[in-house]
Structure 1
Amino acid sequence: MKFETSLTKGTLIKRYKRFLADIKLDTGEIITAHCTNSGTMKSCIEEGADVFLSPAKDPNRKTRFTWEMIEINGNWVGINTMNPNRFALEEIMKGTIPGLEGYSTVQREVKYKDSRFDIMAENSVETCFIEVKNVTLNENGVAKFPDAVTARGLKHLKTLMDVKENGMRAVMLYIIQRMDVYHFEPARDIDPDYARKLVEVHKKGVEIIPLQVKVTPEEIVSHKILHYILEPEIAENV
């Protein structure tokens, strides 16, 4: 997935009110950028770190830029929560995500009962509902989700289990926007209910794909599928 326009470089002054960040551009100008990430952004906030921003498409928007990524320990971490959905849609359409190839029809934002899933993919054999989550949390080299309690995420897991029970394919696709992690786990200490439900739905057939991507100021590209550990001492390979 290539960025549509050239990004603007700066350094982070501070993030506040969840959706705002003050940035000092390389020109010296200080601006306020929009932050799409409503989570805690634990492990991807470092004041004074280099960042890249994209210009707002709407010239009348109050914030002229959207915060795209931050450099942490020499690695770019993608923090724009909109990008994983766009990336997943493009790559599933191209058939480049391992395990999600071979779909002839791919749609975004498809309603199922009282939920709306990010992607529905179909071919002559099956229908697959895919929920995409953005992962930025790094704890000692482990990618974890979520970084805050997520009632919405818990609801999606329950509905994915219903999808599976009704004979369709159900997939949790975690897009891990950083390269300094080596496997994936649910954040049991942050949201134990989500972690327990993920274990439960997986045992009932909901698939888990933790896809690590490499983020650069030019593009986001697939790197590899990480293995995952849903319960302590139990490793799953995908």
Structure 2
Amino acid sequence: MSRPSDDIGTRSDTSRAVAFSDAVFAIVITLLVLDLRVPEVPPGHLLSGLLGQWPSYAAYLASYTYVAVVWLNHKGAFNRVKESDRGLHWVNLFVLFTTALLPFPTAVVSHALQEHDQQDQRVAVAFYALIGALLCASWLAFFHYLARRADLLAEEASERHFPAERIRALVGVILYAAAGLIGYLVAPLAGMVIFVVLPVFYALTSAGLHQVPLVHRIAHRPPTSGR
């Protein structure tokens, strides 16, 4: 629903918000790679040392892909926004806050998987899932805010876009929570598989859930007349 601003001084274009957000994403991705280190092994064992660090590579892949998808979603969202207000800045900062947390659980998972302690691995995977669910929850707040503030959107933006995006964010909250439970109660590696697969879903739907061919066909299928 469109709602006029009571204070025009709180409005601004989106350039500063986008530039600041891009800088945060770049820093987060840079921090992720710092967990990849040269293995400390005796001469002649470099290959086995590199292969033994596979959890670091898996954790890096999951988190790098996640941040990349966050950037794509962020770009797609702000392409549909003509101006920002104080509320949008705060929900955007919430998204950045949760994204900036990702290097920490990534390092925790990498370390736990290399130490081969089953209980620590379960806790590490559950912790990563908690941060992933929190990040999806921040997007849910972001999309919900824009779904209610049509006055901030560009004229060409579809009114259905942000209400539909709330579904994507809610799916993420549910699936990351499920991954954490599976990783903690069943097998840590099963949770890790979900962590790698989930960003693929968000990458495929980064233009919007209603833009996915199958969803688009279902949404625009003409009603069948009953007999």
Q: TM-score range by the shorter chain?
A: under 0.3
More strand by percentage: 1
TM-score by length of 1: 0.26
> Which has more radius of gyration?
2
Q: Whose relative contact order is higher, 1 or 2, with alpha carbons under 8 Å and at least 6 apart?
A: 2
TM-score using structure 2 length: 0.27
